[in-house]
């Protein structure tokens, strides 16, 4: 038998092996960053998951681009490479967004407007730090001042620093957090420490009228650490330790306030998640491509506290959350959320809460969309006199913000979102919607569905930090025969 076929096959094998080796050993010779006008080159470079000398890996290009787009001051990102003589030059092109603003804040209904002024810089001195100062006169709680500062890369490391100083007519809100979050999908650990002190006034309503009012002061700290295992499916066990002290005082002329609490709660969690990112338009923003997390996950959480640890009572708690993400068609994106939480002590189950929700978005044509939100919520035997409110700010735009209340709540929102004008600098759209909802307490009343049709306008600014969407709606409350006008920031859902 002739040996020529064998030699021929051998040569093919050697050629293929050499070709594979050449491709596999192509390394990055140089990284060129362009398009940035204000952002320092090093701020962009530190978000890249590859460096000079690394082998070409396009999956790291995709994840690096996604990391950059998460920054409020970066718009579109393009990462490409060209090979020459076995080496590659990688070009990273970014779009700097306008990150400084001094803007008025207006939200709520016309007779109960919250107004304010915000000054911010999401890219302080081009270094990627965030500083935001907000002064508000809130419709119910009065004046409030907030100063927020964030350093995503503390001292050039993967650690982050977040802080807030807030004070106003009804209390304060001070917090600081130092954390090492997951920077990439391949990261194996995350951890952090947070401290906070807050004081506020809580209000309970009955038939739209103020029923109780009390002050709520809480000092708390939390330490957590999470490990990550797996490549395509992430398995992330975690441990948390929370310590809190909470004090309540009834506000005159009211008499109700919850019991004071001191809690030391160690807990364990488990997250099972299959990462999957897609890019779509006209879901939450107007115009820009959005990075959507389309991977489903399951989360379990268990913990306990005991009087022997200095807590005011002994109990264990259990939480479960299932969040399927579905794509029935290439034009439809669906988010589901199933959540339940409860506590268990010697007397049985209490503080039971449950949520089932569905959000679906369907693109019609190239620039229009149809959105729908359905949710059902319940609380049972709550430790506080907790309640759900239903109105303009919580799912029923034709009714006053605190018009309905109860420990059960059903909300259905359907919204058609046609786009009228699309320009590189702005997008003008409108919305025709129908809100349906009910809030009730089963032992006292039966659910009574309320209806609220309406119409609104949307203005998107794709060249501005965080691509904001300004919203203005007018809605009709059928049962109360009244109109409500509201304005705010962001899509309603």
Instruction: Tell me the DSSP string of 16-28.
Output: HHHHHHHHHT-EE
| Number of Cβ within a 10 Å radius of residue 144 | 20
Instruction: Compute CA distances 329 → 131, 258, 332, 334, 362, whole Å.
Output: 41, 49, 5, 10, 9
**What is the overall mean pLDDT for the chain?**
89
Strands 189-206 and 171-180: antiparallel
User: E strand or H helix at 61, and its extent?
Assistant: helix 58-69
Does residue 16 carry a pLDDT above 50?
no
Provide the pLDDT for residue 182.
92
Provide the pLDDT for residue 108.
67
Q: Specify the range with the lowest mean pLDDT, choosing from 46-55, 105-114, 133-142, 162-171.
A: 105-114
Q: Specify the range with the lowest mean pLDDT, choosing from 262-271, 334-343, 384-393, 429-438.
A: 384-393
Provide the pLDDT for residue 308.
93
Nearest Cα residue to 372 out of 417, 320, 402: 417
Does residue 14 carry a pLDDT above 50?
no
Residue in this structure with the two tokens 């364990």, named with its chain if needed: 268
Residue 417, CB-side half-sphere exposure with 13 Å CA sphere: 30
Joined tokens for residue 180: 């090492």
CA–CA separation, 296 vs 335, rounded Å?
Answer: 9
R_g of the chain, CA atoms, integer Å: 27
Strands 87-96 and 27-34: parallel
For the segment 99-119, the average pLDDT, to the nearest whole number, is 78
Joined tokens for residue 279: 């890019």
CA–CA separation, 223 vs 242, rounded Å?
Answer: 7
Q: Distance between terminal CA atoms of the chain?
A: 75
Instruction: Tell me the DSSP string of 303-361.
Output: EEE-GGGT-SS-EEEEEEEEE-EE-SSTTEEEEEEEEEEEEEETTEEEEEEEEEEEEEE
pLDDT-based confidence at 298, cuts 50/70/90?
A: very high
Provide the pLDDT for residue 10.
46
CB-CB contact of 373 with 407 (8 Å) = no
Provide the pLDDT for residue 207.
78
pLDDT-based confidence at 168, cuts 50/70/90?
A: very high
Nearest Cα residue to 87 out of 25, 20, 16: 25
Provide the pLDDT for residue 11.
45
Instruction: Compute CA distances 112 → 154, 320, 436, 482, whole Å.
Output: 41, 38, 22, 15
Joined tokens for residue 17: 């092996």
Q: What is the three-class DSSP state of 130? A: strand
Per-residue buried b or exposed e for 236-254, using 16+ beta carbons within 10 Å of the residue's own CB: bebebebbbbbbbeebeee
β-strand partners of 268: 239, 302
Contacts of 48 (CB under 8 A, 6+ apart): 31, 64, 92
Secondary structure E strands in 346-426: 348-364, 368-380, 388-390, 404-406, 408-417, 419-422
Q: Is the dihedral of CA 388, 216, 145, 134 positive or negative?
A: negative
Provide the pLDDT for residue 24.
54
For the segment 208-216, the average pLDDT, to the nearest whole number, is 90
Residue in this structure with the two tokens 């935001």, named with its chain if needed: 132
């Amino acid at each position: 038998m002739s040996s020529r076929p064998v030699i021929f096959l051998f040569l093919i094998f050697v050629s293929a092996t050499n070709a594979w080796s050449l491709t596999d050993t192509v390394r990055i010779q140089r990284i060129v960053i362009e398009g940035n006008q204000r952002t320092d080159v090093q701020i962009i470079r530190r978000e890249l998951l590859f460096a000079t000398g690394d082998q070409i890996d396009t999956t790291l290009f995709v994840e690096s681009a996604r990391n950059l787009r998460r920054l409020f001051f970066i718009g579109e990102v393009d990462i490409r490479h060209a090979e020459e003589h076995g080496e590659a030059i990688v070009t990273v092109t970014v779009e700097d967004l306008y990150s400084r603003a001094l803007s008025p804040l207006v939200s709520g209904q016309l007779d109960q407007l919250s107004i304010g002024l915000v000054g911010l810089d999401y890219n302080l001195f081009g270094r990627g730090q965030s500083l935001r100062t907000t002064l508000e006169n809130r419709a119910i709680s009065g004046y409030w001042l907030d100063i927020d500062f964030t350093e995503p890369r503390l001292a050039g490391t993967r650690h982050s620093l977040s802080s807030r100083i807030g004070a106003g007519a009804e209390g304060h809100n001070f917090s600081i957090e130092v954390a090492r979050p997951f920077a990439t999908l391949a990261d194996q650990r995350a951890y952090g420490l947070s401290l906070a002190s807050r004081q506020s006034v809580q209000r309970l309503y009955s038939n739209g009228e103020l029923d109780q009012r009390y002050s709520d002061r809480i000092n708390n700290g939390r330490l957590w650490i999470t490990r990550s295992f797996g490549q395509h499916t992430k398995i992330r066990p975690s441990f948390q330790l929370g310590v809190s002290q909470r004090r309540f005082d009834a506000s005159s002329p009211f008499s109700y306030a919850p019991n004071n609490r001191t809690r030391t709660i160690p807990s364990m969690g488990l997250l099972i998640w299959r990462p999957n990112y897609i890019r779509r338009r006209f879901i939450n923003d107007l115009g820009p491509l959005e990075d959507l997390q389309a991977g489903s996950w399951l989360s379990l959480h268990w913990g306990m506290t005991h009087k022997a640890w200095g807590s005011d009572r002994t109990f264990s708690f259990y939480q479960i959350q299932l969040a399927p993400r579905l794509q029935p068609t290439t034009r439809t994106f669906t988010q589901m959320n199933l959540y339940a939480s409860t506590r268990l002590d010697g007397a049985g189950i209490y503080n039971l809460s449950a949520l089932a929700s569905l959000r679906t978005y369907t693109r019609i044509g190239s620039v229009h969309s149809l959105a729908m939100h359905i949710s059902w919520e319940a609380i049972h035997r709550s430790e506080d006199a907790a309640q759900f409110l239903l109105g303009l700010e919580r799912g029923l735009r034709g009714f006053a913000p605190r018009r309905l209340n109860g420990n059960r709540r059903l909300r259905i929102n359907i919204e058609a979102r046609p786009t009228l004008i699309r320009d590189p600098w702005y997008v003008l759209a409108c919305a025709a919607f129908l809100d349906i909802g009910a809030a009730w307490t089963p032992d006292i009343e039966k659910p009574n569905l309320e209806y609220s049709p309406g119409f609104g306008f949307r203005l998107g600014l794709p060249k501005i930090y965080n691509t904001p969407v300004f919203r203005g709606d007018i809605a009709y409350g059928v049962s109360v025969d009244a109109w409500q006008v509201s304005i705010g920031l962001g899509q309603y859902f």
